Amino acid sequence: MNKQSAGLLLYRLKKNHLEVFLVHPGGPFWAKKDFGSWSIPKGEFQEGEEPLLAAQREFHEETGFSISGEFKPLSSIKQKSGKVVHAWAIEGDIDQTKIKSNTFELEWPPKSGKKKQFPEIDKAEWFVVAVAREKINPAQADFLDRLIQILKA
């Protein structure tokens, strides 16, 4: 069975422009990657776990912020890796400069025997949709289109 993740696509209207909140993965493998490497805040969940609750937990773990309100389902997508990502959109506004991510441990440099701690998310930003479309993991771009459709309805 493919791994499953759940996440939240936070959005806001600023000066009549739709902006979405994306995060950049931390660690040495992502340090120099930009286009196509950003994501909605998300994380894996176990079978039997409620995906929306997992999405809220993962958002908090990756950003330090708790989000509540009206969650709008965006359905799911399948990433190139085979991972299925379930997502919900929610309107809100947080200060991206104040994110506080959980960390993970990795042997770095490889085969050195040294373990280092890295933030799961090293930065977060608000992007207008056109820029977000360039930054986001290509499979997750469908979430942007689905958000636009929901907001037009």
Residue 77 · residue 36 · CB < 8 Å: no
DSSP conformational letter for 51: H
Q: Which stretches of the chain score pLDDT less than 70?
A: 1
Q: What's the confidence (pLDDT) of residue 15? A: 85
Per-residue pLDDT reduced to its tens digit, 72-89: 999 999 998 899 999 999
Q: What's the confidence (pLDDT) of residue 16? A: 86
- pTM of the complete model: 0.94
Please, what are the domains in the chain?
4-152 (3.90.79.10)
Angstrom distance (rounded) from CA 98 to CA 4: 28
Q: What's the confidence (pLDDT) of residue 1? A: 63
Exposure string for 112-145, b = 16+ CB within 10 A, e = fewer = eeeeeebbbbeebbbbebeebeebbbebbbbbbe
* Residue at 123: amino acid letter: K
